[in-house]
Amino acid sequence: MSEITDSETLEAAPDNPVSGIDQSSGNFKYDMTYDFDAGTGLNERTVDYISSVKKEAAWLHDFRQSALKVFNSKPLPTHWATKDLENINFDKIRYYLSQGLKPKRTWDEVPADIKRTFERLGIPEQERKFLAGVEAQFDSEAAYSNIKEAVAKQGVIFMNSTEALREHPEIFRKYFGKVIPTGDNKFSALNSAVFSGGSFIYVPPGVKVSHPLQAYFRINAENFGQFERTLIIADEGSELTYMEGCTAPKFSTATLHSAVVELVALKGAKIQYITVQNWSSNVFNLVTKRGLAHDEAEIKWIDCNIGSRLTMKYPGVVLKGRKARGEVISIALANDGQHQDTGAKMVHAADETTSTVVSKSISVGQGRATYRGVVHIPRHLKGCKNNTECDALLINTNSRTDTYPAITVRGDRHAVQHEASVSKVSAEQIFYMQQRGLTEGQAMSLSVNGFVNDLARQFPMEYSVELKRLIDLEMEGSVG
Amino acid sequence: MSKSAPTLSTAADLIGGFTMDVFERHLSSLPKAPAWWLERKRAAYARFAALPLPARTDEAWRFSNLSGINLSGFAPAERDPKPHPQDPADALAVAPVASLVFVNGRLSGGALPPPELVAKGVVISTLYEALAKHPDLLREHFMAQPQKLGSAKFAALHEAFVEDGAFIHVPKGVEIQKPIVVVHSVSGMATAVFPHTLVIAGDNARVSVVDHFTSADKHRHFACGANDLYAGHGSRIAYAAAQCWSHETLSLQFNSTVVRRDARVQSLNLHLGAKQARHESLSQLQAPGGFSEMLAVTVATGSREFDQRTLQIHQAPSTKSDLLYKNALLDKARTIFSGLIVVDPDAQKTDAYQSNRNLMLSDDAESNSLPGLEIQANDVRCTHGATSSRIDPEQEFYLKTRGIPQKAANELLIFGFFEEVLNRLEDDELHAALRTLIRTRIHL
Query: Closest partner residue to A412 among B2, B363, B378, by Cβ?
Result: B363
* A70 lies within 8 A of chain B by CB: no
Q: For A380, name the nearest residue in chain B, comparing CA atoms only.
A: B363
Q: For A370, name the nearest residue in chain B, comparing CA atoms only.
A: B374
- Tell me the C-alpha distance between A311 and A338, whole Å: 8
- Tell me the C-alpha distance between B324 and B295, whole Å: 5
- Tell me the C-alpha distance between B346 and B411, whole Å: 46
Query: Closest partner residue to B368 among A407, A411, A419, by Cβ?
Result: A407
In angstroms, the separation between the Cα of residue B4 and the nearest Cα of chain A is 8
Largest CA distance in chain B: 69
Asked if residue A321 is part of any domain, the answer here is: no
Chain A residues with CB inside 8 Å of B386's CB?
405, 407, 416-418
- Tell me the C-alpha distance between B336 and B372, whole Å: 13
Asked if residue A38 is part of any domain, the answer here is: yes
The pLDDT, as a whole number, for residue A12 is 36
* A416 lies within 8 A of chain B by CB: yes
In angstroms, the separation between the Cα of residue A471 and the nearest Cα of chain B is 19
* A424 lies within 8 A of chain B by CB: yes
In angstroms, the separation between the Cα of residue B270 and the nearest Cα of chain A is 22
Confidence tier at B3 by pLDDT (50, 70, 90)? very low
Interface of B with A (CB under 8 A): 1-2, 4, 57-59, 62-63, 329, 345-346, 348, 358, 360-390
Confidence tier at A121 by pLDDT (50, 70, 90)? confident
The yes-or-no verdict on residue A23 having pLDDT over 50 is no
Inter-chain touch B375–A409, beta carbons under 8 Å: no
For residue range B96-119, list pLDDT tens digits in order: 999 999 999 999 988 999 999 999
- Tell me the C-alpha distance between A203 and A157, whole Å: 7
- Positive or negative torsion for Cα B177, B230, B35, B49: negative
Confidence tier at A141 by pLDDT (50, 70, 90)? confident
Q: Please compute Rg for chain A using Cα positions.
A: 22
Domain stop point among A313, A346, A369: A313
In angstroms, the separation between the Cα of residue A374 and the nearest Cα of chain B is 9
The pLDDT, as a whole number, for residue A10 is 36
Inter-helix orientation angle A440-456/A461-475, to 10°: 150
Asked if residue A18 is part of any domain, the answer here is: yes
The number of CA neighbours under 13 Å toward the Cβ of B248 is 15
* A432 lies within 8 A of chain B by CB: no
Chain B residues with CB inside 8 Å of A76's CB?
1
In angstroms, the separation between the Cα of residue B329 and the nearest Cα of chain A is 9
For residue range A24-78, list pLDDT tens digits in order: 567 777 777 788 888 899 999 999 999 999 999 999 999 999 999 999 999 999 9
Query: Closest partner residue to B370 among A73, A401, A405, by Cβ?
Result: A405
* A75 lies within 8 A of chain B by CB: yes
* CB neighbour burial string for B280-301, b if at least 16 within 10 angstroms, e if fewer: bbbbbbbbebbbbbbbbbbbbb
Whole-number average pLDDT of chain B: 92
* A24 lies within 8 A of chain B by CB: no
Inter-chain touch B363–A402, beta carbons under 8 Å: no
Chain B residues with CB inside 8 Å of A396's CB?
378
Most A-contacting residue of B375, B394, B413, B414 (CB-CB within 10 A), to test interface: B375
Inter-chain touch A408–B389, beta carbons under 8 Å: no
The pLDDT, as a whole number, for residue B252 is 98
**Consecutive H or E run containing A393:** strand A385-394
pTM: 0.90
Is the confidence metric ipTM above 0.85 for this complex?
Answer: yes
Statement to judge: residues A109 and A248 lie in one domain = yes
Statement to judge: residues A240 and A114 lie in one domain = yes
Averaged pLDDT, A84-108: 87
Asked if residue A207 is part of any domain, the answer here is: yes
Inter-chain touch B385–A418, beta carbons under 8 Å: yes
Q: DSSP of B57-114, one letter per residue?
A: T-GGGTT--GGG---TT-EEPPSSPPP-PPPGGG------SEEEEEETTEEEEEEPPP
Chain B residues with CB inside 8 Å of A75's CB?
1-2, 4
The yes-or-no verdict on residue B14 having pLDDT over 80 is yes
- The SS3 of residue A334 is strand
The number of CA neighbours under 13 Å toward the Cβ of A116 is 14
How big is the A-B interface in CB pairs under 8 Å? 143
Inter-chain touch A405–B372, beta carbons under 8 Å: yes
* Helix/strand/coil percentages in chain A, nearest 5: 30, 35, 35
The pLDDT, as a whole number, for residue B85 is 62
- Tell me the C-alpha distance between B392 and B400, whole Å: 13
| Tally of domains in chain A | 2
Chain A residues with CB inside 8 Å of B62's CB?
406
Residue A479 contacts residue A442 (beta carbons within 8 Å): no
- Tell me the C-alpha distance between A271 and A301, whole Å: 8
Whole-number average pLDDT of chain A: 87
* Helix/strand/coil percentages in chain B, nearest 5: 25, 35, 40
* A478 lies within 8 A of chain B by CB: no
Asked if residue A299 is part of any domain, the answer here is: yes
Asked if residue A375 is part of any domain, the answer here is: no
The pLDDT, as a whole number, for residue A75 is 94
Domain stop point among A274, A298, A313: A313
- Tell me the C-alpha distance between B68 and B16, whole Å: 13
The pLDDT, as a whole number, for residue B37 is 96
The pLDDT, as a whole number, for residue A118 is 80
Start-to-end CA distance of chain B, whole Å, equals 53
Asked if residue A126 is part of any domain, the answer here is: yes
For residue range B341-392, list pLDDT tens digits in order: 999 998 999 999 999 999 999 999 999 999 999 999 989 999 999 999 988 8
Print the domain residue range for A479: 428-480
Domain stop point among A313, A347, A369: A313
Chain B residues with CB inside 8 Å of A74's CB?
2
For residue range B48-91, list pLDDT tens digits in order: 999 999 998 899 999 999 999 999 999 998 765 566 666 655 67
Query: Closest partner residue to A409 among B358, B372, B378, by Cβ?
Result: B358
Name residue A281's amino acid: S
Inter-chain touch B371–A423, beta carbons under 8 Å: no
* CB neighbour burial string for A26-39, b if at least 16 within 10 angstroms, e if fewer: bbbbbebebebbbe
Statement to judge: residues A309 and A448 lie in one domain = no
Torsion of CA A217, A221, A226, A232, to 10 degrees: -20
Inter-chain touch A422–B58, beta carbons under 8 Å: no
Inter-chain touch A402–B388, beta carbons under 8 Å: no
Inter-chain touch A405–B58, beta carbons under 8 Å: no
Inter-helix orientation angle A186-194/A58-73, to 10°: 150
Inter-chain touch A418–B348, beta carbons under 8 Å: no
Name every residue whose Cβ is closer than 8 Å to that of residue B175 and which is 6 or more positions away in sequence.
Answer: B205, B206, B207
Inter-chain touch A75–B385, beta carbons under 8 Å: no
Statement to judge: residues A75 and A220 lie in one domain = yes
Statement to judge: residues A301 and A154 lie in one domain = yes
The pLDDT, as a whole number, for residue A276 is 85
Query: What percentage of residues in chain A have a pLDDT greater than 90?
Result: 58
Asked if residue A75 is part of any domain, the answer here is: yes
In angstroms, the separation between the Cα of residue B50 and the nearest Cα of chain A is 20
Chain A residues with CB inside 8 Å of B374's CB?
400-402
Inter-chain touch A402–B373, beta carbons under 8 Å: yes
For residue range A212-259, list pLDDT tens digits in order: 898 888 888 888 899 999 999 999 999 999 988 887 777 778 889 999
Chain B residues with CB inside 8 Å of A398's CB?
345, 376-378
- Tell me the C-alpha distance between B125 and B36, whole Å: 20
